[in-house]
C-alpha cells in the first residue's frame, strides 16, 4: 500500500486506474475473471434474491452480470472510489439497467443502510482492500436479512508448490511490469500481489466470517487454487 493508509489510499489508487480498469483486468487475468464472476453470480442466484448489495462494486461488473441473469433482482453497488463508480454508471446506463442498478459511494465499514435490507451481499476482489476487515464483515452481516447469504470472490495463495511458483512469478514480476506499461499508476499493480500475500489464509478468513455472526461458512477453490468463492449465511 502507499504511504497513506486505509480507505483514502485505496480510493486514490483505484480512482487513478478507473479509466483502464476493465481493460487491464481482462488482459492481466487472460479473461479468467469472467469465468470466476459467472460462478459467483450463479452461486448468488441459487437463493433467488430480490435485492443484492454489491460491496466494492468497482465498475459494476458483478452488479451488471446479476441484472442480466435475473430480471427480477435489484442491485445496489457501493465503492469508495467515485471514478470507478462513474465508469460503472456509464456502463449501466448504456445497457439500460439504471432502473435496477443503483451505484453510490460508501465503504464496507460504514454501510448507509438499515438492518436486514438485502437478501444477498456480494464482494469480488474487494475484501483485501477493506480498512478494517472484521468491521466490514460485521457491517455486511448487519444489512443482510435473516436467511440471507454472503458471496465473496477473492484471490488466495495456492497450496500446490508448482502453482505457488507460477503464481508468485506472474503476480510479483510479470503483472506489475504489464501494469506499468499500460497504466500510469504502476503502484496499483504492485499493491495487488502484496495484498494477496498478506491477506488471511482460507481457514482464518472462515473464522472471521464466524466471528462476524455468519453460519455455515465454506469455500470453493477456483483455477488450481489461485482464487476462492466463500459463502456463508445469516441465521434465520
Domains by residue range for the chain, with CATH: 7-157+200-233 (3.40.50.150)
CA 66 vs CA 34, 44, 72, 156, 177: distances in Å? 13, 8, 10, 24, 33
Candidates 101, 3, 8; CA nearest to 60 is 101
**Residue 5: per-residue pLDDT:** 45
Task: Give per-residue pLDDT as tens, 93-115.
Answer: 999 999 999 999 999 999 999 99
**Residue 4: per-residue pLDDT:** 41
**Residue 181: per-residue pLDDT:** 76
Where on the phi/psi map is residue 14: left (φ > 0), alpha (ψ -120 to 50), or beta?
alpha
Q: How confident is the model at residue 1 (pLDDT cuts 50, 70, 90)?
A: very low
Average pLDDT of the residues in 23-42 = 88
Residue 204 has pLDDT above 60, yes or no: yes
Q: How confident is the model at residue 177 (pLDDT cuts 50, 70, 90)?
A: confident
Give the other-Cβ count within 10 Å of 118's Cβ: 25
Amino acid at each position: 500500500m502507499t504511504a497513506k493508509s486505509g480507505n483514502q489510499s485505496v480510493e486514490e489508487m483505484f480512482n487513478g486506474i478507473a479509466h483502464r480498469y476493465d481493460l487491464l483486468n481482462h488482459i492481466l487475468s487472460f479473461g479468467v475473471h469472467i469465468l470466476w464472476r459467472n460462478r459467483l453470480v450463479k452461486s448468488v442466484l441459487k437463493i433467488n434474491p430480490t435485492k443484492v448489495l454489491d460491496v466494492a462494486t468497482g465498475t459494476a461488473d458483478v452488479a451488471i452480470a446479476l441484472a442480466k441473469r435475473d430480471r427480477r433482482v435489484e442491485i445496489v453497488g457501493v465503492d469508495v472510489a467515485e471514478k470507478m463508480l462513474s465508469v460503472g454508471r456509464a456502463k449501466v446506463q448504456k445497457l439500460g439497467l439504471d432502473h435496477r442498478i443503483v451505484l453510490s459511494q460508501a465503504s464496507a465499514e460504514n454501510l448507509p443502510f438499515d438492518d436486514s435490507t438485502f437478501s444477498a451481499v456480494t464482494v469480488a476482489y474487494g475484501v483485501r482492500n477493506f480498512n478494517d476487515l472484521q468491521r466490514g464483515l460485521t457491517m455486511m452481516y448487519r444489512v443482510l436479512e435473516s436467511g440471507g447469504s454472503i458471496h465473496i470472490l477473492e484471490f488466495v495463495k495456492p497450496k500446490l508448490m508448482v502453482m505457488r511458483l507460477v503464481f508468485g512469478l506472474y503476480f510479483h514480476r510479470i503483472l506489475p511490469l504489464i501494469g506499468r506499461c499500460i497504466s500510469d499508476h504502476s503502484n496499483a499493480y504492485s499493491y495487488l500481489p502484496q495484498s494477496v500475500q498478506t491477506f488471511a489464509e482460507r481457514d482464518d478468513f472462515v473464522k472471521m466470517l464466524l466471528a462476524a455472526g455468519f453460519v455455515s461458512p465454506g469455500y470453493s477453490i477456483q483455477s488450481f487454487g489461485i482464487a476462492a468463492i466463500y459463502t456463508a449465511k445469516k441465521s434465520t
